Amino acid sequence: MEEDKTPVLEVRNVNVARSNALVIEDANFTIQWGDYVGIVGPNGGGKTTLLLAILGIIPRQRGDIRLFGEDIDSFSHWERVAYVPQGAIKFDPHFPITARELVALGRVNQGNIGRKLKREDWEAVDEALDFMGISDIANKRIGQLSGGQKQRVFVAKALVRKPEIIFLDEPVTGVDASTQEKFYKKLSNLNTEKDITILIVSHDLTAVFCRMSKVMCVNREVNISEITDDLEPNEVLRKAYGEHFHFVFHKHKCEVVFEND
C-alpha cells in the first residue's frame, strides 16, 4: 500500500467540543505512511479527545477527517485501524481468560460472531504473541500477568487484525521505567519491521524524542513537527506546555527538566 501516495490520515480545520466547551480548535495536520508520532501535551489539553474524534467515536463541530483518503463519515474499512484505549489493561483480574484467548478476541468481527475461529485466525494470534515476545505467557490467566505483560497482550490483540495504523492512548501509565523502555522498543520494531503507522499519546518525552519520527503537541491547538537532529525541543514543547517548560536533550540520553521562571 505504501506506493499509494494518499496520506494515511488527514485532518483539516477540525473543531471538537465536549460538554459545550471547545477542546480542539482548528486542527490541521497530515500523517504519512510509516510515521511514528508521539502525541504530547498537558493533562486536559485534548489529546484523548483528538484521538476519539479521529476514530469517529465522538462528533466534531466542523472540519474534515480522512483515513486512507476516505471521509471517516463514510469509512467502513475499520479492520485497517487498531486502537488501544487509555486504561485498557484495567481488566478484571478474576475473569477466566488466558492471554492467548484475549488476543484471539481481536479476530472477532461482525462477519464471524458466534463462529469458531479458523486455523488462520489462530496462526495470526500466535504470530502476534510471538512478535510481542509473550508466547511464553500465552496460556496464563490475564490476572496472573504483570502490568507490562498486559500492555503487550493488548497491543497483540490490536495487531492480530493486521492493521495499517494503530492508535495508543497512554499505554504505559503506571509501570516502571525499564518496562516502559522495553515497550517502546517493541513499538519501534512494529513501526520498522511491520511498516505500521503509529500514533501514541505519551507523557514520556524521553521516548518521544529518542524513538519517534514526529511529535504532535496538543493543548487545544495542535502543532506537529518532524523530529530531526536540528529540532529545538524547547521551541516545540512550549507551544503546548507554556514558557515555563525546559527540555534538556543529550545524544543517547534524554532528561526532562521543569523550571519556573
- The CATH number of the domain holding residue 136 is 3.40.50.300
In a domain, 252, yes or no: yes
pLDDT digits (tens, 9 = 90+) for 124-174: 999 999 988 899 999 999 989 988 888 889 889 999 988 999 999 988 766
> With 50 as the cut, is the pLDDT of residue 238 above it?
yes
In a domain, 3, yes or no: no
Report which residue type is found at 101: E
**Cα 157 to Cα 162: distance, rounded to the nearest angstrom:** 10
In a domain, 247, yes or no: yes
R_g (Cα) of the chain, nearest Å:
19
Phi, psi of 78 (to 5 degrees): -70, -10
Report which residue type is found at 165: I
Report which residue type is found at 123: E
In a domain, 2, yes or no: no
In a domain, 223, yes or no: yes
In a domain, 4, yes or no: no
| Predicted pLDDT at 181 | 81
For residue 241, what are the contacts with CB-CB under 8 A and spacing of at least 6?
Answer: 41, 42, 217, 219
| Predicted pLDDT at 261 | 38
Of residues 96 and 24, more confidently modeled = 24
DSSP-derived 3-state class of residue 4: coil
| Predicted pLDDT at 255 | 47
User: Which cell is 116 given?
Assistant: 469458531
> With 60 as the cut, is the pLDDT of residue 43 above it?
yes
Burial of 10 (0-12, 13-18, 19+ CB in 10 A): middle
Nearest Cα to Cα of residue 98 among 148, 163, 168, 149: 149
Q: pTM score > 0.95 for this model?
A: no
Lowest-confidence segment of 12-16, 38-42, 173-177, 234-238 by average pLDDT: 173-177
- Please give the residue range of the domain that contains residue 242: 9-258
| Predicted pLDDT at 92 | 75
Q: Per-residue confidence at 258, pLDDT binned at 50, 70, 90?
A: very low
> With 80 as the cut, is the pLDDT of residue 2 above it?
no
In a domain, 1, yes or no: no
Q: Per-residue confidence at 10, pLDDT binned at 50, 70, 90?
A: very high
| Predicted pLDDT at 174 | 65
pLDDT digits (tens, 9 = 90+) for 66-88: 999 999 999 999 999 999 988 77
Of residues 3 and 146, more confidently modeled = 146
| Predicted pLDDT at 177 | 77
For residue 93, what are the contacts with CB-CB under 8 A and spacing of at least 6?
Answer: 142, 143
- Find out whether 247 and 233 touch, Cβ atoms under 8 Å: yes
Give the count of domains, the chain.
Answer: 1
Count the Cβ atoms, other than its own, within 10 Å of residue 138: 18
Counting residues of the chain whose pLDDT is more than 90, the rounded percentage is: 55
| Predicted pLDDT at 34 | 94
In a domain, 18, yes or no: yes
Report which residue type is found at 236: V
In this prediction, residues 220-228 reach a mean pLDDT of 95
pLDDT digits (tens, 9 = 90+) for 195-210: 999 999 998 888 898 8
**Cα 254 to Cα 53: distance, rounded to the nearest angstrom:** 32
